[in-house]
Chain A
Amino acid sequence: MDSRTSEVAGQAPPRSRTPLANTVNDALKIVIVGGFGVGKTTMVRAVSEIRPLSTEETMTGAGIGIDDTGGVREKSTTTVAFDFGRISLNEQKVLYLFGAPGQQRFWFLWDRLFAGTLGAVVLVDTRRVADSWYAIDRLEHHGMPFIVARNNFDEPEHTLPQLREALSLSDDVPLVDCDARHRASSKSVLIALVNHLYALSTAQESSP
């Protein structure tokens, strides 16, 4: 159903969980949103201290009896799968990175899953720019700060200003190039996002 799985499936099952330090008491979230096969898991893997894990969330169809004693099987459910990895930031804080599909049904679960997220990276495949429009629209709708990163597996055909125009992206949203396969490059994308958030946050503090 999804390419990520095949990426993960080829790897050896032994799960050597790297435990978090006992002092860690606060977890933060960043979400990487992008279309099918754009490199979300690749980016998570490039920076994560654990092998990316996969899980899913389900949503019960609206209007169907929540307490229906018929149980799970009677209900119409929507399922969204997503990957994640993590980065220990210091003795107290850990950052979880989520690779999330940008498809329509995913956004129904945004509030449940990603309330409190620091910000998002929209990962763009230049050959399929249109895949990103919807994600950008939804992030704006949810008031979620984001940056856009163009993942260049190949030599890009267009300049960043051309891409900005194609995405109808406003000038205040950072747009960067990256290669999600490389740790340094993926790291710089996350730093670009947090710098952006920092600028927004300081602006917010000075004009309450």
Chain B
Amino acid sequence: MIREAIDGENPDRLYTVTGGRSRADENAFDLVTLIVSESDPTPGMQSEHTAILRMCRSPVAVVEVAAELKLPVSVVKILLCDLLDTGRIAARHPSASVGRTPLPPPEILKQVLVGLKNL
């Protein structure tokens, strides 16, 4: 259902949603950067921005925002940039982000193991 919605997406809508911009700062958000609203939506705000602010009252990963809005990740990143620039959201970036050594330290992995074993 979601796929069809995206496949059948009208390019004009994507163009309108982003105001014609095609790229966000690639490094601004990871796929799993957690987004948290810092304010409530205001009247007259673009509907996608409103939806994001409502959705992110508790932390939500960028990729979840994309799935919920049925928009490509890159388009969502552009929308998130707008909100971040105006201070309406906060971004909690993953500790294991680009540029680090490929492997996280053992203590982090230990936490992952404990979490998985508790599943």
Contacts and interface: CB of A to CB of B under 8 A. Distances in A.
B86 interface: no
Given A73-B11, A195-B113, A201 B97 contact: no
A69 B100 CA distance: 36
A183 to B, nearest CB: 7
Contacts of B20: 69, 71
Nearest to A195: B113
A54 B2 contact: yes
A113 to B, nearest CB: 6
B87 interface: no
Nearest to B58: A19
Contacts of A115: 30, 97-98
A204 B14 CA distance: 45
A191 B116 contact: yes
Interface stretch (A7-15, A129-137, A148-156, A163-171): A7-15
Interface in B29-77: 30-34, 36, 55, 57-61, 63-64, 66-68, 72-74
Chain A interface helix/strand/loop/mixed: mixed
Contacts of B15: 71-73
A119 B61 CA distance: 19
Interface in B1-22: 1-4, 6-7, 11-12, 14-15, 20, 22
Which of B22, B26, B101, B112: most chain A CB closer than 10 A?
A: B112
B91 to A, nearest CB: 11
A205 interface: yes
User: Interface size for chain B: under 10, 10 to 19, 20 to 34, or 35 or more residues?
Assistant: 35 or more
A81 interface: yes
A26 B26 contact: no
B92 interface: yes
Given A1-B7, A15-B68, 12 more contacts: A2-B3, A28-B112, A55-B66, A55-B72, A66-B22, A86-B64, A89-B116, A118-B109, A145-B102, A191-B117, A194-B113, A194-B116
30 contacts: A1-B7, A5-B1, A5-B3, A5-B4, A17-B55, A20-B58, A20-B60, A21-B59, A24-B92, A25-B92, A53-B63, A56-B72, A57-B72, A57-B73, A60-B22, A66-B22, A69-B20, A71-B20, A73-B11, A84-B67, A86-B61, A87-B116, A89-B114, A94-B34, A96-B63, A115-B30, A116-B30, A118-B96, A118-B112, A191-B117
9 closest A-B pairs by beta carbon, nearest first, are A89-B115, A27-B32, A53-B67, A19-B58, A73-B11, A55-B67, A115-B98, A55-B66, A5-B3
